[in-house]
Structure 1
Amino acid sequence: MQARDISGGVHLHQRGSVPRTPRQLPGSAAGFVNRRQELKALNTALASGGHPLTVVVGTAGVGKTSLVLRWAHDIRDRFPDGQLYVNLRGYDPGLPITPSRALESFLSALGIPRTEIPSGTDERSALYRSLLAGRRMLVVLDNAATVPQIRPLLPGTPESLVLATSRNRLSGLVARDGAHRITLGLLNEPDAIELLGKVAGGHRPKQDVTRFPELARLCARLPLALSIAAERVASHPWMTLDDLISELHSETARWTALTAEEGEETDAVHTVFSWSYRALPTAAARLFRTLALHPGPDFGSRAATALAPAEPGEVQHWLDILTGAHLLEQHARDRYQFHDLLWSFAMDQARREEAPESRRVLSQRVLLWYLRTADQAQKWINPNEPRVTLDPPDDAPEPIAFDSYAEAVGWYDLERGNLVTATRSAAAAGLLDIAWRLAIVLRAMHMRFNQFDDWITTADLGLKAARRSGNRPAEAELLESLGMAYAQSHDLPRGAEHHQAALEIRRELGDRTGEALSLNDLGLLHLRSHQLNEAKHMLEQARALFDDLQDASWTPVVTANLAEVLAELQQYTTAEDLIHSALASFRAAADAGGEGNALRLLSLSRRGRGDAAGALNAAESAVAISFQHRNQMWEGYWLLELGHAQHLAGSPDDALATYDRAALLQRRIGDRVREALAWKHAADVHHGQGRHDRATELHTRAAEVFQNLGTHWPHATTLACLAEAQYAGGRHASAQDTSTEALRLLAPFTDPTAQAVKARIRALG
């Protein structure tokens, strides 16, 4: 494991574990009424067995989610393998939930550890379909905006049922995917009156029921507006219903005077919102409107406290008032969210009632809270990464102080989407110092879990903020962050471009530690590209700088990286001297990851010298460390070296089992290059055992991956091995074509290993 080249957390997932049975359905709405025709249509579609995908569509606030959740709870026993639920937030003010993010949530609920979830959407979707194949599961996709948001979340087999809700008609799902569509309209008058009676009837005199039809009309028979109005009526039993309706009439007039003509439903919704809002206590009303300034779609009470400077107990009391008035929804323990219509209303009130400077200060407070709490999480999640100086103002909200790694990771999981949005919001608001600092802090966590999309997004936002603020050190740090993200996601040219830019800035600034770090990163990137002389040059410079700086933590890391390059150049004696030096330092520092990586390198060098027993011993010791720490990121990488040592030691069956395990782990992690390397090396074993067809199959599969990713060295060497397998299997013409392409790709490489590969190909004739 090269420094900053692989990251991964410890987890306790056991091999062969049984997938979990998730129970993710939220509770059904208490005020649900009737919808008999729609429920009958849903039951008919289920009984027919011909519609494993049903979409419920209709206008905002009409009760789509309430209907789907009520029916889902009614039928959940028919799906014994569990229920999955995601709010896709297709109409929220921020960005919708991407299919990739939704799949990550589903895979986690199905028991896949974070470090084993692939990084790409296609790979996540394929794993998701594999896990659901043959299982009877209920999948609810709430608030979808588009067909592309839904398609990757569809199971591949018909045993499961998918329910989706949307304001759009989703015609593509009906036409192409055979979805059954149910359109939900407004409640009829009797049902609207029944809903009012369910919530408010027990709190009003019997004669008030005669006025419910007028109240239903004022609410346009829209369930969202009816629920809020009913709660208002129920919570003011001392006021006559005539007075309450008169208030609502007055609010209608006020709203009409303030807004353009938007249609009966929109007018009714806003009128009811205003009516309920003006009845709130002053402090609760201010919290309601300032919560619209929160950067993400949902939040906890600590984030709310950052927006409403007060004691946590007071803020919790106000949150309870808002949820009781149906102006805010509590969807999980200490997690709150707006209906998107209510968010729009709250933001409108914030703009009307809070001065621009007040809104700016409040936004800054909540963004500072995210920055400081993320910094606290970094201390647990990735403590070896450099910390950022925060310099918060004296009145900045206090962050969460985590007591364990698990607490910090739990917070990161919960807030990851908000952290991306917070970075974007800070940049958009001109709070540039918060934006670039947050991007640097988040790198330490994103890199730990290979969250490349979030990593690249936040780093790019931070880089632009650093440039706008003229902060050159921060600019260099974020260029390096992007270089690491691109390199680790196998976009090597873009990685090199960003690392080189960071190096140039650090040299201009005289930042010797930063210069050494950039040189190390460039050296690793050249090593990935098999540009060994360039890698050696960069790493020698980095090591000399760290030696001069007497940096005890980075010197052994760079020493090990340089040793790997020397071993690849077949300079084994010098490489092993460096490996033993680094190994001693890692052991003295109790750095298990560094120790295991050094043992991997020792096996690599010993193999090069033909010492099969010594290589096997070192590789087994490395893998044992990964087992001790239950770290499958380490295990997946170091197993590749163990397979090589087993093959050299004359244990082909053991080597095949090891490569198979390595491929499985790399697939779960989402590292397509190392998964393909496991296939390639397994193919080498099959070729050596005379199974040339199997070798050809695996080499071909690996070569396709390398070609698609543009990784020229492994592509070239795999084609060379493929040509040998084809030739041995009697496919001489194919072998000739493959050899020609392999030699073309190998032309730029001149190191001893490359020369040996070229000689083998030419020997085929």
Structure 2
Amino acid sequence: MSGEQGHGQEPGSSHAELSGTSRDVVQAGHVDGGIHFHGGSRAPGHGAARPRQLPHDTRHFVNRTAELGQLDDLLGPGRDTPSAEASVCVVAGTPGAGKTSLALRWAHRARDRFPDGQLYINLHGYDPQEPVTAQQALHGFLLGLGVPSGSVPSGAEEAAGLYRSLLAGRRLLVVLDNAATESQVRPLLPGSPGCPVLVTSRGRLSGLAVRDGAQRITLGVLPEGEAVSLLRAVTAGYRTEESPEHWAELAGLCARLPLALRVAAERAATHPHTSLHELVADLRDESALWNALSTGDDAEAEAVRTVFAWSYRALPPEAARLFRLLGLHPGPEFATGAAAALAEDTERHVRQTLDVLVGAHLLEQKGPDRYGFHDLLRAYATDLAREEEEPEHCSAALRRLLDWYLHTALAARELLSPGREPVGAGPPADGVTPVSFSDYDAAVGWVEREQANFPPVVRAAERSGCDRHARLLAEVLFDARAPSAPKTEWIGVAEAGLSSSRRAGDRSGEATLLHYLGFAHRSLNALDRSIACHEQALAIRRELGDRWGETDVLNALGLVHLERRQLDRAEARFDEAMQLFRQLGDQQSVDLTLSNRAGARHDAGRTREAADDMEQALAGHRAHGDKAYLGDALCATSLIRLELGDHEAAHALASEAVDLALELRDHTLEGYWLLALGAAQRAEGEHAGALASYHRSALLHRRLGNRNREALAWRGTGETYTAMHRTDDAVDFLRRAAAVHAELGDSWNEALALAAWAAAREQDDGRPDGTTAGELRQRAVSLLSAFTDGRAVRLRGRLTRGRT
């Protein structure tokens, strides 16, 4: 069974997904006087990190002296920067021209000029699979800048704002490698002149020059002398003196492109007893049957392809087979375990074979147990798999890879979301050894490393007709996502799994993914989409006679209606769910749904009925011991006790809830429950404590991307300042809260903010500067006319009589 607490998260989740711009944060035990909130650029702990994300410098780098000097002139500190924008330089050129090597060589040479660090990402703009999006890049950059993994924004705009805020006033280098489009780059441009950006691309990216003032360096092939120097540098110590003509001919056969030169030189270095004349003749005779890569200049592309083929043909058979099978991996990089699944071999043996490929410069080692291709080599390996492997062998290899991801993700899910129902995956295929995890941190580490692979892996399953794998992976990854992974990324995974479920006629899988999509859309405030997904899931559950699934969806629908303040609909859904849970004998879910119904009744102003529900639910949650459900019940009970005038009990209950959130390290719950604590503190006259609680709540909700709840914290702050007779501060916060609720179409909370604003305005002694209290009450009454529940009717009456 999967349920959801009244205002909390999706089933089985205890992690937060934070977004927004960081502001100053206050932690207060005892504070005398007022607390002033100013728009600081960073919260403590954010931005203090000095990232060092540059990959290792390129070995045997030679020449390109003029281009290095140009980069010094364009990006070095001390450059006259007439605007507030960061300097941007695009290194453009043909594939294999050494753009990345040049960028990394300059970045390493210049790193001391950037005391606040270096950010780097390979955007994979020209890989056969999906390129890295700006949102994914921002995710990695924010982690590198010290943002906790649970605090990475879910929205691209919020993430970009936080990113720019953290870079403001710093001197830091940003390297964006292998960009394909301006849209990949532009959100990653800082707003600070102290943070230059170095971009590499095959394209000219002219839009960056026109709109962002980017400078461009075009990298061509190496002059013959420099090409020969590179060959000699790589082979130094391995070969005796050779004829200059042979070196020049080898360079020419490589089209004087650094990538091809390095591959050829590695072959020459590892065959020191074969004369260069023989190696050149062998390369010249290499099969010309390969089609030229579609990368611009056909002669250069053919030369690169020929060098690849020449080096590939020299591999031992098992290394050659692994090389082409790795071309089937859909993600940007892979672990040894994934390679072993593709090859149907042991990790120990595959690791040795991977070393052979790395030594031949046909593969790059990205880190401990992480490997990847240059994009040209990936395309070459993929073509080889199609040309030299039987189709059924490729299909079997891909299925083993999918099985490895599925069963490893299942192992991670057991630690990240314990107690979840099995998905019926069956045992892994022969030749597949999934990863096992010793603890929670090990599981989180794996999903963080593999996060970029999950979307392309699921889409590869869908495209290849592996519908069962696509559906199961999408379902499992809902619970086994990295804590910092944005839900928007999982939505794409879910849609691929949903397509596969429908194609396979898997109605149960379709319902599960629709249900989960409903939760994901609700967390992103897309409530219409959320309801549509849950309604479709409900119809399927009823069609299948799945009563457990039906009750879960009914409860979820009640929560969406509650969030939309459709209180009668919410209560009706909760009643339906509660009746079915009782029939099924699931008392914990009965208590959960009872808490949710209490929330609907309380919002409708039926406080005594809500109190009765919550008294029973709270006792049940204490007995069951689930801290998240207990904390939500404590928070709801606190609000009820506060309305009944028992301020001391309300304070104690809310404090207990916040303590549970801190134990769970769950910012979603902490941010929401702090609103109840702030309200109780304000009622008791603890104004400094209330301000600190509201400000912490606003900070967390901003990072969560929940603007509506951030505005609730602003309203609480404004009401506290009103109680302190600090009218100007109160009006400032209440005006902002009302504006956000209006923008989001939340008429109820907009009306409450306007009513609170009117109460603050009444302290102005009739000053004529700004909107009057009467005008604000009138606007609130107009908004409240859409609501017919008891609380709305009573509030509308008070406001009409001129009371707030």
Q: Please indicate the TM-score interval, normalised by the length of the shorter structure.
A: over 0.9
Partner residue in 2 for 1:30: 59
Residue 80 to residue 512, structure 1, CA distance change in 2 (3 Å): same
Q: Is residue 2:15 matched to residue 1:9?
A: yes
Residues 473-512 of structure 1: pairs in structure 2 closer than 5 A:
473-512=508-547
Tell me the SS of whatever aligns to 1:57. Answer: strand
In terms of mean alpha carbon deviation, does 644-653 or 392-401 score higher? 392-401
Hey, what's the Cα distance between the residues in 2 that align with 1:758 and 1:499? 33
Hey, what's the Cα distance between the residues in 2 that align with 1:102 and 1:726? 45
Letter in 1 for 2:6: Q
Letter in 2 for 1:40: G
Residues 707-722 of structure 1: pairs in structure 2 closer than 5 A:
707-722=742-757
1:365 to 396, 400, 416: 400
Hey, what's the Cα distance between the residues in 2 that align with 1:428 and 1:452? 22
Render the CA deviation track for 1:151-187: whole Å, top value 9, x for unaligned. 1111211112221111111222222222222111111
Letter in 2 for 1:545: L
Residues 451 and 482, structure 2, Cα contact 8 Å, conserved in 1: no
In terms of mean alpha carbon deviation, does 82-91 or 253-262 score higher? 253-262
In terms of mean alpha carbon deviation, does 589-598 or 607-616 score higher? 589-598
In terms of mean alpha carbon deviation, does 66-75 or 236-245 score higher? 236-245
Hey, what's the Cα distance between the residues in 2 that align with 1:232 and 1:590? 64
Residues 559 and 579, structure 1, Cα contact 8 Å, conserved in 2: yes
CA shift, 1:4, in A, is 5.8
Tell me the SS of whatever aligns to 1:163. Answer: strand
Kindly tell me the number of residue pairs found equivalent between the two proteins. Answer: 764
Residue 571 to residue 746, structure 1, CA distance change in 2 (3 Å): closer
Q: Is residue 2:690 matched to residue 1:652?
A: no
Among the aligned pairs, what percent are the same residue? 46
Hey, what's the Cα distance between the residues in 2 that align with 1:357 and 1:734? 76
Residues 135 and 159, structure 2, Cα contact 8 Å, conserved in 1: yes
Hey, what's the Cα distance between the residues in 1 that align with 2:274 and 2:743? 71
Q: Is residue 2:425 matched to residue 1:390?
A: yes
Residues 638 and 650, structure 2, Cα contact 8 Å, conserved in 1: yes
CA shift, 1:395, in A, is 1.8
Residues 367-516 of structure 1: pairs in structure 2 closer than 5 A:
367-392=402-427, 394-395=429-430, 397-446=432-481, 449=484, 451-516=486-551
Tell me the SS of whatever aligns to 1:400. Answer: coil
Hey, what's the Cα distance between the residues in 1 that align with 2:99 and 2:293? 29
Residue 697 to residue 760, structure 1, CA distance change in 2 (3 Å): farther
Residue 448 to residue 329, structure 1, CA distance change in 2 (3 Å): closer
2:311 to 273, 276, 283: 276
Residues 87-98 of structure 1: pairs in structure 2 closer than 5 A:
87-98=122-133
Partner residue in 1 for 2:787: 749
Residues 178-197 of structure 1: pairs in structure 2 closer than 5 A:
178-197=213-232
What value does the CA root-mean-square deviation take over the aligned residues? Answer: 2.4
Partner residue in 1 for 2:109: 74
Name the structure where helix makes up a greater proportion of residues. Answer: 1
Residues 104 and 124, structure 1, Cα contact 8 Å, conserved in 2: yes
TM-score normalised by L of structure 1: 0.95
Residues 177-326 of structure 1: pairs in structure 2 closer than 5 A:
177-251=212-286, 253-255=288-290, 263-326=298-361
Residue 286 to residue 154, structure 1, CA distance change in 2 (3 Å): same
Partner residue in 1 for 2:69: 40
Render the CA deviation track for 1:274-310: whole Å, top value 9, x for unaligned. 0000100101001100101112111111110110011
Partner residue in 1 for 2:79: 49
CA shift, 1:402, in A, is 1.0
Partner residue in 2 for 1:128: 163
Hey, what's the Cα distance between the residues in 1 that align with 2:119 and 2:726? 44
Residue 38 to residue 448, structure 1, CA distance change in 2 (3 Å): closer
Residues 91 and 198, structure 2, Cα contact 8 Å, conserved in 1: yes
Letter in 2 for 1:50: D
Hey, what's the Cα distance between the residues in 2 that align with 1:740 and 1:3? 30
Structure 2: gaps spanning 5 or more residues:
18-24, 28-42, 82-86
2:366 to 331, 336, 340: 331
2:554 to 519, 524, 537: 519
Partner residue in 2 for 1:172: 207
Residue 260 to residue 649, structure 1, CA distance change in 2 (3 Å): closer
Render the CA deviation track for 1:482-525: whole Å, top value 9, x for unaligned. 11111111111111111111111111211111110011001111
Hey, what's the Cα distance between the residues in 2 that align with 1:96 and 1:289? 21
Partner residue in 1 for 2:32: none
CA shift, 1:88, in A, is 0.9
CA shift, 1:105, in A, is 0.7
CA shift, 1:137, in A, is 1.0
Residues 593-672 of structure 1: pairs in structure 2 closer than 5 A:
593-672=628-707
Partner residue in 2 for 1:762: 800
Hey, what's the Cα distance between the residues in 2 that align with 1:260 and 1:533? 61
Letter in 2 for 1:95: E
1:543 to 551, 575, 578: 578
TM-score normalised by L of structure 2: 0.91
Tell me the SS of whatever aligns to 1:299. Answer: coil
Tell me the SS of whatever aligns to 1:84. Answer: strand
CA shift, 1:581, in A, is 3.0
Letter in 2 for 1:269: V
Partner residue in 1 for 2:93: 58
In terms of mean alpha carbon deviation, does 719-728 or 111-120 score higher? 719-728
Letter in 2 for 1:132: L
CA shift, 1:760, in A, is 3.4
Residue 450 to residue 180, structure 1, CA distance change in 2 (3 Å): closer
Hey, what's the Cα distance between the residues in 1 that align with 2:658 and 2:762? 35
In terms of mean alpha carbon deviation, does 250-259 or 550-559 score higher? 250-259
Q: Is residue 2:625 matched to residue 1:583?
A: no
Letter in 2 for 1:9: H
Hey, what's the Cα distance between the residues in 2 that align with 1:384 and 1:738? 50
Tell me the SS of whatever aligns to 1:251. Answer: coil
In terms of mean alpha carbon deviation, does 220-229 or 396-405 score higher? 396-405
Tell me the SS of whatever aligns to 2:430. Answer: coil
2:627 to 573, 576, 592: 592
Residue 192 to residue 27, structure 1, CA distance change in 2 (3 Å): same
Hey, what's the Cα distance between the residues in 2 that align with 1:113 and 1:586? 30
